[in-house]
Structure 1
C-alpha cells in the first residue's frame, strides 16, 4: 500500500508531503483544484514518461517520492531479477532535472523506466471512466475467472510446459531448416567426400611421391653420374682413392716429426676412410637403381590425382585436403543423422503436448465450474449499482491451439437492457457502464487475490442517490482487503472514507499553489455539506453530512 507521498516542484504543487493509512481513502475538492495533478505525479512515480512542461520552476528539479509497504505482494523475485535490495518499506523516487533529463530510483538504486513501470503496475492500479478498457480484454477476463477458479498452480504448470514445448519446437524448426539446407548440398558433399575417400590420402605423401617420380624419371642421368663418380674415385693411378692413398702414405712417414704433421696425417686418414664409405654408398645406390616404367607411370598418375584435388579444393597440400575431407564427413554425417534427431524431438514434443492437454483439461474444468458463479455475482452487483437489466452471456470452449494460459476461447458478451442484443463489451458498453463493471469485477477480485492499491478516479460520475450509497459500500468492503482511494464528487462516497483529504488551491506570495489536506471530523462535515448544497451551507446540508458520516 501507499504509505506516504512527497511531491516537490510539480505543476501547481510547490511542496507537498502526505501520509496515508490502510482502508478507504476519499479525496475531494472543487473541479480544477488539482486532483488530476496528484494522478499525474503518481503516474510519473509509476513509470510514465516525464515532460519538462510539468515542472513548476524550470531552474529547480522536480522530485516525486512514494513510500510503499510491499510485504504482502510477493515481490522478492522481481527485486532479485532487477538486482535490487528488497525492503518491505520500499521507496520509489522520480526526478526531473532542469535539463529535462529524468532519473528513477528504487530504494536509492538507479533503475530504468521499464523496471519502474514493472514495479509500479504491481503497486497501484488507477481507474477512471477513460481507463476501463482493460475490462474488455480477453486476458483480463481470464485473469478474473482464474482468480475465482483458483487455477494459479495449474496455469503456472501449463505455462512451464508451454515454454518447454516452444523451445523444443524451435529446435525442430532449426533442424528442419538445417536439413533443407544440408539436403540441397548433400549429394554434392557426398560426391566430394567419396572422391577424397577413394584417394586414400596420407600425410606427407606428396613429398614422397615427388621424390620417387623425380628419381624414376631421371634414372639414366642418376646412373651415369653415380658411375662417373665411382670411376673418379677408383680409377688406377689417377683415381681420387689412389691419389689420396699416396698422400696418406707420405704423411704417415713424417707424422712422428711434429704434432701438426701428425694431425695432418690423421685428417688424411679420416678423409680416406670417409671416401671409402662414400664409394661404398655410391655403389649401393647404383645397385638399387632399376628402371621401372610401370612404377613411374603410377607415380605420375598419383601425382596428377593429388594436384587435381588440390586445384579443385584450392589448397596447397595433402594435409589441407585431409582437413576438408573431415569437414565433409561431418556435414554428410550431420545430414544423415538429422532425420533421427528430428524424429526423437518430435516424439518428445508429442509427450509434452499430451501432458499439456491433460493440464489444460483440468484448467478448463475448474474455469467452467467457476464461470456461472462469477456471472451471477457480477449481475447481482451491477443490479445494486443501478443496472438491473445488465446480463452476460459467456462460453468457454476448448481449442486445438495452445494459448499462453490454456487451450480455451472465452466469449464474454454483454447486454445492458432487456430485449437488447449481446455484444463484446468494448462495442456495446458505455463509459459509465464499463466503470461500474470494472468496479464490480475489482470488488469480486479483492476477495480472491491480493490486489495492489486501487485508485478510482471519479468513476462515480452520473451516479446519485441510493446507487451512490451502494457504490460507497462496495468500495468500503473492498478496502477490508486492500487500500482503496476514491477521487469523488459524491458526498455518500466521501463520507464512507475512513480518512478524507481535500485538494484545494491557495494563493501564497502572489503564486497559486495546490495543497492537499487531511480533514478532521469538523472539516469533513463542512466539506461534505458543501458537496451536498454548495458554498452556502444550510442547516439541512450540515445535518445530512453528519448523518452520512455517522452511518
Structure 2
C-alpha cells in the first residue's frame, strides 16, 4: 500500500521527507511520506515497528544481513529523501566528492548474493561515508541506547550549547591544531638534533675530505688525458719526431715533394680556370702541411718527461677513484651531490640549537593563546552549569523523578583535549539522601531515558539537531508522566522533526501525524504495512490502546478527550 502525503515545508533541518522499502523482512513494498512536526507511530507488539526501524537503519549506514531479504531471489532496496538545506552539509558533500542537493536521496541495495551497495544522490559511496551522513540526519534513541548520555564528550556538548561556545570551540580547535603541529615539529627537530650530533664529527670529516678533493665537472676526464700523455712521453716524442722528419726530409720529405708539385701547378694556372683552381688547391695543401709540420715540431719541443707532475696527476686521480669507491659513487657529479648533502647535514647540526630555540618560543606563544581560549571556554561553561542543573531538575520533577539532583563540576585538566581543558564531573542522584554517582551506575534505564529526553529538549533550544526518533522510550511509565513526555516531544517538534514509536496512548495523542504499523495475511503470507490514520481512525486506534480490541463508549470518549 502506498502513501504520498503532502509536505508542509520544503526546507527543514535534516527532514525525513519520504521512505521507501522494498523486499525487506515482512515488507514487500512500502512507500510513505512524512512532514515536519511530531509524528507518532503505533502498532501492536510484533506488528513490525522494529522492521520499519531496521529498514531505515540500512540507509543510515548499518550493516546488512542477507536473511533480511523477504524474497531471496530479488534485491532489497531502501531509499530515503532528506531535506538538508538548512543543515550546512555542503562541506561534507565536497569532501566526499558528492553532488550536493537540498533534497538529498540516500539509497541502499542488497542483492540476493549478499552484495551491498550504497548511494548518495546516485553516487556510489562506502558504508563508512553513508554512516557519517546518517549520523547527521537521524538520531534514533531507545531505552537501550543511552550510553551517549554517560559520555563526557556528550555532556560537555550540552553545556557548550547552553553557553553558546560554537565559535569559541572552533577557534580553540584551530589553535589546538597549530599547537600540535608546532609540538610535532619541535619533537622532530630534537630527534634530528640528537641524530645529527651523533654523526656530526664523522660527517664533518667526510665533508672536509670531499672539499679538499678537486671536484669539478670534467676534471676526471682532464686528469686522465694528462696522465696518459705524461706516462707515454717517450712514445709521443718519438712519433712526433718521425712524423716531422717525414714532412721535412730534404730528399723525400712531403713538403719538398709538394714544393715541386706547387711549381708545376703554378705554370699550368695560366692555361684556364680549371688549372687555376687546381693550383689554388695545391697551394692550400702546401700551406696546411707546412703548418702541420711546424705544430709537430712545436709539440715535440714542448713535450718533456716530468715524473713529478706525473706523480701529482696520478695522486689526484687516485684520490678521486678512492672517494668514488668509498661513497659508492659512479662519478664526479654524484660525489658533488654527496658533498652538498653532507654540507647540509653539518649545517643543520651547527644551526639546530638556534632553530630549536626559535621553535620553542613559537610553541610558548601558541600555548599561551590556546591556554587563554581554553580558559574562556571553562569560564563560560562554569557560568551556565547552574542554569543546566536547574533546567534538568525542574523538567525531571514533571517526569516523575521529583527528587532528581545533579552535581556538575568542572576542573582544569593537566593537558589540552580536543574540546578544551576541562575535566567534567556529571553526577546524579534520584532520591533524597542518596549519594551522587555516575549516571550509568546510579540511574535506571527508565530514568536515563527521561534524562536523555530532557537533555535533548534543552539542546533543541540552542542548536540544530538532526531528526529525532524516539523508540518506545516511554515504556513502563505512568499515564501522567507519559503525558508530560508527549508534551516535551511536541514542544521540541516546533523547531525540529520528531518521531515517536510508542505503545502509550497519551504520547500518541500528542502527534501532529499518526501512522499505524500492522500485519495483514494475504496469499498465504504475512505482510507488514503502514498507513496514516485519519482523525476518526486515530480515535479508534487510541481507544484500542486504552481498552483493547473491544471498543467501549468510555474508551472512545477517553480517546477523543486525549486528542482534544
TM-score (norm 1): 0.90
1:375 matched to which residue of 2? 389
Determine the C-alpha separation between the residues in 2 that align with 1:477 and 1:99: 46
SS at match of 1:22: coil
Task: Indicate conservation of the 8 Å contact 1:7/1:13, yes or no.
Answer: yes
Displacement of 1:280: 2.4
Task: Indicate conservation of the 8 Å contact 1:504/1:516, yes or no.
Answer: yes
1:6 matched to which residue of 2? 20
Displacement of 1:135: 0.4
Residue 348 of structure 2 is aligned to residue 348 of structure 1: no
Q: State how 1:441-456 maps to structure 2 within 5 Å.
A: 441-456=455-470
1:428 matched to which residue of 2? 442
Task: Identify the match of residue 117 of structure 2 among 72, 90, 103.
Answer: 103
Determine the C-alpha separation between the residues in 2 that align with 1:410 and 1:86: 38
Q: CA 1:105–1:264 in 2, change beyond 3 Å: closer, same or farther? A: closer
Q: CA 1:274–1:147 in 2, change beyond 3 Å: closer, same or farther? A: closer
Q: Give per-residue Cα distances to partners, 1:200-236, cap 9 Å, x unaligned.
A: 3333333333343344444445445544554555555
Determine the C-alpha separation between the residues in 2 that align with 1:320 and 1:73: 58
Determine the C-alpha separation between the residues in 2 that align with 1:20 and 1:212: 94
Displacement of 1:419: 2.6
Q: State how 1:272-291 maps to structure 2 within 5 Å.
A: 273-291=287-305
Displacement of 1:308: 2.3
SS at match of 1:73: coil
Q: CA 1:259–1:541 in 2, change beyond 3 Å: closer, same or farther? A: closer
Residue 88 of structure 2 is aligned to residue 91 of structure 1: no
**How many residue pairs were aligned?**
550
Determine the C-alpha separation between the residues in 1 that align with 2:387 and 2:224: 93
Q: CA 1:465–1:198 in 2, change beyond 3 Å: closer, same or farther? A: same
Task: Indicate conservation of the 8 Å contact 1:13/1:514, yes or no.
Answer: yes
Residue 478 of structure 2 is aligned to residue 464 of structure 1: yes
Residue 558 of structure 2 is aligned to residue 547 of structure 1: no
Determine the C-alpha separation between the residues in 1 that align with 2:396 and 2:160: 21
Displacement of 1:247: 6.6
Q: CA 1:252–1:419 in 2, change beyond 3 Å: closer, same or farther? A: same
Residue 421 of structure 2 is aligned to residue 395 of structure 1: no
Q: CA 1:447–1:264 in 2, change beyond 3 Å: closer, same or farther? A: closer
Between 427-436 and 140-149, the greater mean CA deviation after superposition: 427-436
Between 112-121 and 440-449, the greater mean CA deviation after superposition: 112-121
Task: Identify the match of residue 475 of structure 1 among 473, 489, 496.
Answer: 489
2:4 matched to which residue of 1? none
Task: Indicate conservation of the 8 Å contact 1:55/1:62, yes or no.
Answer: yes
Residue 536 of structure 2 is aligned to residue 522 of structure 1: yes
Q: CA 1:489–1:253 in 2, change beyond 3 Å: closer, same or farther? A: closer
Residue 360 of structure 2 is aligned to residue 360 of structure 1: no
Determine the C-alpha separation between the residues in 1 that align with 2:406 and 2:189: 48
Determine the C-alpha separation between the residues in 2 that align with 1:229 and 1:79: 86
Supply the RMSD in Å over aligned alpha carbons. Answer: 2.9
Q: Which runs of 5+ in 1 are unaligned?
A: none
Displacement of 1:260: 9.9
Q: Which runs of 5+ in 2 are unaligned?
A: 1-14
1:141 matched to which residue of 2? 155
Q: CA 1:248–1:128 in 2, change beyond 3 Å: closer, same or farther? A: closer
SS at match of 2:509: helix
Residue 166 of structure 2 is aligned to residue 189 of structure 1: no
2:90 matched to which residue of 1? 76
Determine the C-alpha separation between the residues in 1 that align with 2:104 and 2:246: 106
Displacement of 1:43: 0.8
1:296 matched to which residue of 2? 310
Q: CA 1:426–1:290 in 2, change beyond 3 Å: closer, same or farther? A: same
1:120 matched to which residue of 2? 134
Task: Identify the match of residue 224 of structure 2 among 204, 210, 217.
Answer: 210
1:39 matched to which residue of 2? 53
Displacement of 1:275: 4.6
2:9 matched to which residue of 1? none
SS at match of 2:374: helix
Q: CA 1:253–1:91 in 2, change beyond 3 Å: closer, same or farther? A: closer
Determine the C-alpha separation between the residues in 1 that align with 2:69 and 2:515: 24
Displacement of 1:15: 2.3
Task: Indicate conservation of the 8 Å contact 1:72/1:450, yes or no.
Answer: no
Task: Identify the match of residue 489 of structure 1 among 493, 497, 503.
Answer: 503
Q: Give per-residue Cα distances to partners, 1:26-60, cap 9 Å, x unaligned.
A: 22221111111111111112121222211211222
SS at match of 1:477: helix
Determine the C-alpha separation between the residues in 1 that align with 2:135 and 2:289: 100
Q: Give per-residue Cα distances to partners, 1:156-203, cap 9 Å, x unaligned.
A: 111111122223333333444444444443333322221111123333
1:63 matched to which residue of 2? 77
Q: Give per-residue Cα distances to partners, 1:356-409, cap 9 Å, x unaligned.
A: 111111111110001111111111212221112222222111223111111111
1:168 matched to which residue of 2? 182
Determine the C-alpha separation between the residues in 2 that align with 1:379 and 1:96: 46
